[in-house]
Structure 1
Amino acid sequence: MADSNVNQQTKAIRQNGIQKWFEQQKYWIGGVAFTFFIALLGYLLALAPGFSYVGQLACAIIIAITYRQIFGYPEAIRAGVTFSAKKLLRLAIILYGLRLNINVVLSDGLGLLLRDAFVILFAILMMIWLAKVFKADKSISLLLGVGTGVCGAAAIAAVAPIIKSRDEDTAIGVGIIALMGTVFSIIYILLRPVLPISPLDYGIWSGISLHELAHVALAAEPAGDDPLAMALLAKLGRVFLLIPLCFVLIYIMKFRNKGSDESNAKIAFPWFLLGFIALSIFGTYVLGNTIPVSEGMLEGIYSLTTWLLTAAMVGLGLSVSFNDLRTKAVRPLIAMTITSVLLSIVAFFIV
């Protein structure tokens, strides 16, 4: 009789454990699905007149931040939202490596690489200096400097874990970079007809100075196919330099923390960066050569990358409060505006 009671209790505990596990998985799936649902809303909003210039990523972040202010953080599905913000973000960066054709950059863009390196260094150092002048948040300012100099949201996402940026700071940085890049790309389009510069040089100028790959394409496309190709080549050079930049930042963070109270806190190596490098090599030398692939399939992968990145940014955006925006975003935004203007001017004269 006693053994029967023990068996029944054991069975009940096991059933409760299984039920609890299924409950957790349900909320986890719900959290991931929720981030993709807001990503879908961002996509639909980006189809509306005017919002098409802003893009799906920025629209989704705006919706996520607005939801947080009205309804609060969705605590019940936190696990799934966190999964999107952390794991899907890294997967998106890895897949982003397929966009980088290393062979093209090294064979045709070596001259551009030098200018790209100068642009990245200028943007980061200028943001760091202006952050001190305006007493702006250091973490957000550094993220914006990297995003401005390299490749926008993808660069911010890659660097954030290295400098131990908080999720809300990363989301604020991504939102600002997406919005500012859109504004500057539209300004470039309006200025193009009156600038004393050839179409090809205009393409190079766009490629070495604008924030996101999408912003470069938006600004350079009206100039024609050849200027657009040069713009994308120049931009790919900046994406390529994200790899050594991350390793430099890892070294700087370790050196800065050496001998301090934070010295025991190891800098987490961004293993997803190795995935980014591996897919860059795979996409350059294997995909399309040894393994045939259609343009449609590549576009499908690029679209998947965009959706994953958008869902991840929704997860980050849900952690942002208006109080954070009011107290932490204004001064970095001012510093970034100044940096972007100066970068555009400097880049114009080195083209």
Structure 2
Amino acid sequence: MTKFNNKPFIIGILFTFIIAAISLISSKLPLLDKVGALTIAIVIAILFRHFNGYPESYRPGITFASKRLLKFAIILYGLKLNIFDVIGEGSALLLIDGGVIIVSIGLMLLLNHYIKGDKIITLLLGIGTGVCGAAAIAAVSPILKAREKDTAISIGIVALIGTLFSLAYTVIYTLFTISPEVFGVWSGVSLHEIAHVILAADFSGETALRIGLLGKLGRVFLLIPLSIILIFVMNLKSQARNTNRRIEMPYFLIGFVLMAIFHTYVPIPQFIMQIIEPLTTICLLMAMVALGLNVSFKDLQNRAFKPLIGVIIVSMILSTITFIIANYIYG
């Protein structure tokens, strides 16, 4: 490949990196630190698309970011998991986590039956709400054969709603007397992203944060069996339609599992994790920029409004149910 042919790829990568870096820096500023880098990255990308159009000349690099870097980030995401912690100390929370995932997906699909929203976006939002936000949506999108614009819309909605709910949790904690244990469980089993759990639970202190992360990582762990179930269901649908397009376990999910196993059995030095964590974040942000460039305001208006209403309702129901459960068991 000549240097000329490499140029669109390099510029595309740099383009997503620059916006990702701006998003990350902006997320440290007052007020914007409550919004989160993921939301900022997607919003900037959508606004760029609206005012400047899709940067066709950068497409090779942008496509690489939306596909390869996203999968690479999900593989590295596995290093957040310690399986022994999840099935050991977090085993009681794991049962609640499983219920949250089932209720989230089930309620979204049931509600969508009445409001007639986009089915794929609705399912992605149910999975993102129940499991672990952007990472879950990105992981299952290839299994569900979702379009990149649907993936981006779903991730943007989950990131935004999760941020609003995590801020609401801190207000509720301030107004009412809630023990750190209850608040940690409530945050961990109901909020959308790991970043949202940290934002809310850390407000209550170290105990709440530790329990919250344990509850959240249980939901991340359940992404593995959920993906297997989705592959099985999609293959059954293919057979029913008499097509031979079988869906295998995506390689990046296998990598995710292997990284989780590796982190469980092999101690990783802190200085290495201090490199891996920001690398994971920047790769994920670059992928969010690339995905966001596929979304137009017309897409948001025509396809996202009803699923947005659905995920708000479902998130409110989940928050209420999980608070009652957390207070009953740990209060």
When normalised by structure 1's length, the TM-score is 0.91
Aligned to 2:58: 77
Moved over 4 A (4+): none
Find the aligned partners of 1:211 and 1:56 in 2 and give their Cα distance.
Answer: 14
SS at match of 1:103: helix
Alignment partners' CA distance in 1, 2:311 and 2:272: 37
- Equivalent residue for 1:330, pick from 291, 301, 305: 305
Q: Report if the CA contact (8 A) 1:150-1:239 is conserved.
A: yes
In the other structure, the counterpart of 2:29 is 48
1:344 equivalent among 319, 324, 327: 319
Alignment of 1:147-162 (within 5 A): 147-162=128-143
The 5 A counterparts of 1:226-265 are: 226-260=207-241, 263-265=243-245
Q: Does 2:153 correspond to 1:172?
A: yes
Note if 1:163 corresponds to 2:144.
Answer: yes
- Structure 1 spans left out of the alignment, 5+ residues: 1-17
Offset, 1:185: 0.3
Q: Would the aligned equivalents of 1:209 and 1:347 in 2 still touch at CA under 8 Å?
A: yes
Select the residue among 86, 90, 101 that pairs with 2:71.
Answer: 90
Letter matched to residue 271 of structure 1: Y
Are positions 1:108 and 2:83 aligned together?
no
Q: Give 1:196 deviation, angstroms.
A: 5.0
| Residue among 281, 306, 318 paired with 2:293 | 318
1:133 to 2:83 alignment? no
SS of the residue corresponding to residue 341 of structure 1 reads helix
1:281 is matched with which residue?
Answer: 261
**What's 1:272 paired with?**
252
**In structure 2, C-alpha distance between the alignment counterparts of 1:319 and 1:313, rounded to whole Å:** 10
Q: Return the alpha-carbon distance in structure 2 between the equivalents of residues 230 and 271 of structure 1.
A: 31
The alpha-carbon deviation at position 97 of structure 1 amounts to 0.3
Matched-pair contact (CA < 8 Å) for 2:153–2:304? yes
Q: Tell me, in whole angstroms, the C-alpha distance in 2 between the residues paired with 1:96 and 1:216.
A: 16
In terms of Rg, which structure is larger? Answer: 1
- Cα distance in 2 between the residues matched to 1:211 and 1:63: 21
* One-letter code aligned to 1:207: G
Give the Å deviation of 1:267: 2.1
Q: Does the 8 Å contact 2:148/2:294 carry over to 1?
A: yes
Q: Check whether the contact 1:161–1:268 (CA below 8 A) recurs between aligned residues.
A: no
Q: Deviations over 1:73-129 (max 9, x none)?
A: 111111110000000000000000000111111110111110000000000011111
Q: Is residue 2:194 matched to residue 1:213?
A: yes
Aligned to 1:6: none
SS of 2:143's partner is: coil
Bigger drift between 158-167 and 193-202 goes to 193-202
RMSD (CA atoms): 1.2
The match for 1:13 is: none
Deviation at 1:223, TM superposition (A): 1.0
Q: Which amino acid aligns with 1:113?
A: L
Give 3-state SS (helix, strand or coil) of 1:140's partner: helix
Flag structure 2 segments of 5+ consecutive residues without an equivalent. Answer: 327-331
Deviations 1:257-292 (A, max 9, x none): 22215x23332531111100111111111134xxxx
Partners of 1:248 and 1:189 in 2: CA distance: 35
Counterpart-to-counterpart distance in 2, 1:149 and 1:71: 35
Q: CA deviation at 1:40?
A: 1.3
CA distance in 1 between counterparts of 2:240 and 2:103 reads: 29
- Quote the residue 1:14 is aligned against: none
Shift of 1:44: 2.7
Distance in 2 between residues matched to 1:282 and 1:28, nearest whole Å = 33
8 A contact 1:171–1:320 mirrored in 2? yes
Task: Name the residue aligned to 2:169.
Answer: 188
Structure 1 counterpart of 2:289, one-letter code = V
Partner residue, 2:13: 32
Alpha-carbon distance in structure 2 between the residues aligned to 1:48 and 1:231: 25
Structure 2 letter corresponding to 1:304 = L
**More moved, 234-243 vs 191-200:** 191-200
Alpha-carbon separation, structure 2, partners of 1:268 and 1:337: 33
Q: Is the 8 A contact 2:228 2:249 kept in 1?
A: no
Is 2:79–2:259's contact at 8 Å kept on the other side of the alignment?
yes
> Identity over aligned residues, as a percent?
49
Match of 1:60 in 2: 41
> For residues 118-155 of structure 1, what are the alpha-carbon distances to aligned partners after superposition, in whole Å with 9 as ceiling and x for unaligned?
00000001111111211110111111100000000000
The alpha-carbon deviation at position 163 of structure 1 amounts to 0.2
